[in-house]
Amino acid sequence: MSVRPNARPGGQKPPFWRDRAKRALIFQLLLVAAVAAFLLYIVGNTQANLEARGITTGFGFLSNTAGFGIVQTLVDYSSQSSYARTFLVGLLNTLLVGGLGVLAATIIGFTVGIARLSPNWLLARLANGYIEIFRNIPLLLQIFFWYFAVLRTLPSARDSLAFGEAVFLNVRGLYLPEPLFESGFGIIPATFLVAIIASIVLVVWNKRRQDATGKRLPAGWISLLLIFGLPLLALVATGVPVTWDMPALSGFNFRGGITIIPEFLALWLALSIYTASFIAEIVRSGIQAISHGQTEAAQALSLPRKLVLRLVIIPQALRVIIPPLTSQYLNLIKNSSLATAIGYPDLVSVFAGTTLNQTGQAIEVIAMTMAVYLTISLVVSMFMNWFNARVALVER
Amino acid sequence: MRNKLMVGMAALMTGPLLAQAATLDDVLENDSVRCGVNAAQPGFSALNDEETYLGLDTDVCRAVAAAVLGDSEKVQFVPLDSVERFTAIQSGEVDMLSRTTTWTSSRDTGMGVNFTGVSYYDGQAFMVASDLGVQSAQELDGAAVCTQAGTTSELNLADYFRVNDMSYDPVIFDAPEQSIIGFEEGRCDVLSSDASQLYAQRMQLSDPESAEVLPEIISKEPLGPAVRQGDDQWFNIVKWSLFAMINAEEYGISSTNVDEMLDSEDPNIARILGQGDNYGEAMGLEADWAYNIIKQVGNYAEMYDRNVGKDSDFAISRGLNALWTDGGILYAPPIR
């Protein structure tokens, strides 16, 4: 039996600077203290300097009158509204283009990604060409392409392209008729809601019935019929209580109806098409990650091809697809801040741009803007993580 | 190693305090004045073929360099867009701002900058395509209007249309070049900005005759240089550099006759040129500070005429920018 030479008799503890665990703890505490002191110093120094230079600080400016106009507002806004309102208007415009962009990019991306694997030679080549072109051109250039090269070549307001005297397209944007709902219209969303609830009940019942008896109804088709058929039936039954506000040329521009500004169209197209090319590659890699043996095994059970895809391949592929897909969604939302390059009134343009300049309060405005993007990204991440956990492989 | 670290820490601690020190010392140390200007606004600040910034705003910077460093070429021009400009001056990235910036109360009091005077009295106007047949700004109800982000134009526009009970679609771009493209390609019916800028932008159109500037002036736009708040010495230098040019015009001193004027019997002229008492001393300058400005940059009339006035493409008449003795409102306190 060997005795360690430095072992102390009687189990006496070494001093704390010889104890590795305690030393590590002390160093970590010191580091935390240093970081905290540094942050405190930065904040204090900033405050002192802002005060010394007579720059207004604080968030009081949010209740001041903004005094400038914004071309696209989803909520009531005028130049008499407050800066807090411009913040809201910008935030909603960002969410609008981000939300619709995620939707369109997902649809295009999945379509192209699956087309890329198609046995049809032409279709697969086309999909491949799409991916290689749009993935490799910088996003800002694509935004400029859609805005300056495509939408700016449209005719002027007076020579608009007209589609049936209801829809007009010109260099100022796309003009659509706006539905105005009369009294009694409330029944239609109500029937829509009823149809959705009925569909959910049907699907759950169908699944239980299948588990018990092995028989199943085409629940998907029945639900679709319910969700669209019932409100339509209600619409006809109530005598269509909708009038249309048609856009019409008066003075300089079209008045009435809904206007979709070209800045929005250009940004939305560019973001969707660019991000879709990445999503397509993610979808392709996800499907290819599933070993061919899975398909063969499913076929050996004599499952029809449609069910092989739906029950075997896609659920496994989704597990590979979702984590990188989340990153693409986050990229799309953050990239929407390029809006400022073409004058789409998003959060960066109206709040971190005009508002910052009118108030001169860079620190507050930029901090708020960064907090918004951080929050949006974290919420999207949380949702996608939850979704990922749901489809994740349940190991037995 | 440890010593270097300590020095680094010390520099970090005192760095912001040093930045507070006198701007004049920084300028003398760098041997150049860092001046925030427009990137491309012909007449006020634009690059010529030799890659030199020329214009009325840039000449104001040159005047300050002549007064402080004795050489009007010792200026480092920093092109800024309208959104960046205040942050640049607040943070000390530039020593002065001479960038067609309108002097307003909120900018002067709440943004940590001080305006030193007015180098050009301007006002906001509208430019429309000639074939629209619009005669007055009162007929612009429902028009789409292009203007620049973060300017007083954006605010005046909202006020004007509200007061006159008209509606408009604001189309807001970051850079003036984009506004012109938007106007030419029909994205907007109207281009709105300061009148001086509109005349310059009209010259940039492929066919200047296709557009006209409407007669209405809807706002007061006193444009002038600005400095960081809290440095009174530097504030005085920039302020009096401009006043020296205006005083020189009033007393008939120009870059061509300034050497003969050194022998002038007129005590006003002698005081401006620093013959006898040194009026630059209290600002930390040499006695010949104003002489250098006039010799190297010229008086206000020379600066105006070659950049925006009768010797330039724009040929804008002096109007409000004439001396108070000639029917304008240009008036500088006396040097004495």
Q: Name A188's Cβ contacts closer than 8 Å, sequence gap at least 6.
A: A231, A234, A235, A238
pLDDT digits (tens, 9 = 90+) for B172-222: 888 788 888 889 888 889 999 999 889 888 888 888 888 989 988 999 999
Output DSSP code: residue A242.
E
pLDDT digits (tens, 9 = 90+) for A125-154: 999 999 999 999 999 999 999 998 888 888
Flag if A171 and B185 touch (Cβ within 8 Å): yes
B175 part of contact set with chain A, CB < 8 Å: no
B9/B119: higher pLDDT: B119
Q: What angle do CA A251, A252, A254 make, to 5 degrees?
A: 85
Residue A313: predicted pLDDT: 87
For A68, the closest of B106, B154, B185 (CB atoms) is B154
Question: Could you give the residue ranges of the DSSP H alpha helices within chain A?
Answer: 20-52, 83-116, 121-135, 139-144, 187-213, 219-237, 262-288, 292-300, 305-307, 314-335, 347-349, 356-359, 362-391
Q: Which pair of structure tokens corresponds to residue A84? A: 């807090």
**CA nearest A250 in B: which residue?**
B142
Per-residue pLDDT, averaged over A284-301, amounts to 91
B169 part of contact set with chain A, CB < 8 Å: yes
Residue B19: predicted pLDDT: 44
Q: Is residue A281 part of a domain?
A: yes
Per-residue pLDDT, averaged over A368-396, amounts to 87
pLDDT digits (tens, 9 = 90+) for B103-145: 999 899 888 899 999 999 999 999 998 888 888 889 898 889 9
Q: Is residue A3 part of a domain?
A: no
**Nearest chain A Cα distance for residue B186, angstroms:** 6
Strands B221-223 and B120-122: antiparallel
For A340, the closest of B86, B171, B174 (CB atoms) is B174
Residues in chain B with CB shorter than 8 Å from the CB of A359 are 106, 110
State the CATH number of the domain containing residue A305. Answer: 1.10.3720.10
Residue A2: predicted pLDDT: 53
Task: Give the pLDDT band (50/70/90) at residue A250.
Answer: confident
**Nearest chain A Cα distance for residue B241, angstroms:** 23
**Nearest chain B Cα distance for residue A20, angstroms:** 25
The ipTM of this complex is: 0.73
Residue B11: predicted pLDDT: 42
Assess whether pLDDT exceeds 90 at residue B83.
no
Assess whether pLDDT exceeds 50 at residue A252.
yes
C-alpha span between A224 and A208 (Å, rounded): 20
Residue A58: predicted pLDDT: 84
Q: Which of B99, B172, B179 should we substitute to test contact with A (largest number of A Cβ atoms within 10 Å)?
A: B172
For A45, the closest of B16, B106, B143 (CB atoms) is B16
Contact B212, B130 (CB under 8 A): yes
Please give the model's pTM, rounded to 2 decimal places.
Answer: 0.79
Q: Is residue A201 part of a domain?
A: no
The per-residue pLDDT of chain A, averaged, comes to: 87
Task: Give the pLDDT band (50/70/90) at residue B10.
Answer: very low
**Nearest chain A Cα distance for residue B111, angstroms:** 5
pLDDT exceeding 90 applies to what percent of chain A?
A: 41
Q: Is residue A78 part of a domain?
A: yes
Residues in chain B with CB shorter than 8 Å from the CB of A341 are 174
The per-residue pLDDT of chain B, averaged, comes to: 89
Q: Is residue A129 part of a domain?
A: yes
**Nearest chain A Cα distance for residue B270, angstroms:** 37
Flag if B154 and A354 touch (Cβ within 8 Å): yes
Assess whether pLDDT exceeds 70 at residue B6.
no
pLDDT digits (tens, 9 = 90+) for A5-25: 555 555 677 787 788 888 899
Residue A229: predicted pLDDT: 85
Question: Could you give the residue ranges of the DSSP H alpha helices within chain B?
Answer: 2-19, 23-30, 56-69, 85-90, 105-110, 152-163, 176-184, 195-204, 232-250, 258-261, 267-272, 289-296, 300-307
**CA nearest B181 in A: which residue?**
A148
Q: Is residue A294 part of a domain?
A: yes
Q: Which of A357, A364, A365, A369 should we substitute to test contact with B (largest number of B Cβ atoms within 10 Å)?
A: A357
C-alpha span between A182 and A180 (Å, rounded): 7
Residue B199: predicted pLDDT: 86
C-alpha span between B144 and B135 (Å, rounded): 17
Residue A10: predicted pLDDT: 57
Neighbour tally for A76: CB within 10 Å: 8
Q: Is residue A189 part of a domain?
A: no
Q: Which domain holds residue A80?
A: 56-137+258-346+370-395
Residue A395: predicted pLDDT: 61
pLDDT exceeding 70 applies to what percent of chain A?
A: 96
Residue A277: predicted pLDDT: 96
A-proximal residues of B, 98-127, CB under 8 Å = 106-107, 109-112
Task: Give the pLDDT band (50/70/90) at residue A84.
Answer: very high
pLDDT digits (tens, 9 = 90+) for A25-39: 999 999 999 999 999
Contact A171, A262 (CB under 8 A): yes
pLDDT digits (tens, 9 = 90+) for B27-56: 999 999 999 999 888 899 999 888 899 999
Among A10-19, A264-273, A298-307, B16-25, which is the least confidently predicted range?
A: B16-25
Per-residue pLDDT, averaged over B273-284, amounts to 89
Per-residue pLDDT, averaged over A350-376, amounts to 90
Per-residue pLDDT, averaged over A251-264, amounts to 84
Q: Which pair of structure tokens corresponds to residue B22? A: 């006198």
Residues in chain B with CB shorter than 8 Å from the CB of A78 are 162
**CA nearest A362 in B: which residue?**
B87
Q: Is residue A113 part of a domain?
A: yes
**CA nearest A171 in B: which residue?**
B187
> What count of Cα atoms within 13 Å lies in the side-chain half-sphere of residue A153?
6
Assess whether pLDDT exceeds 60 at residue B263.
yes
Assess whether pLDDT exceeds 60 at residue B95.
yes
Burial profile A203-218: b = 16 or more Cβ within 10 angstroms, e = fewer:
eeebeeeeeeeeeeee
**CA nearest A262 in B: which residue?**
B187
**Domains, in order of start, for chain B:** 23-121+223-314 (3.40.190.10), 124-219 (3.40.190.10)
Flag if B162 and A79 touch (Cβ within 8 Å): yes
Closest CA to A148 of B11, B111, B181: B181
For B230, the closest of A54, A251, A340 (CB atoms) is A54
B306 part of contact set with chain A, CB < 8 Å: no
The domain total for chain A is 1
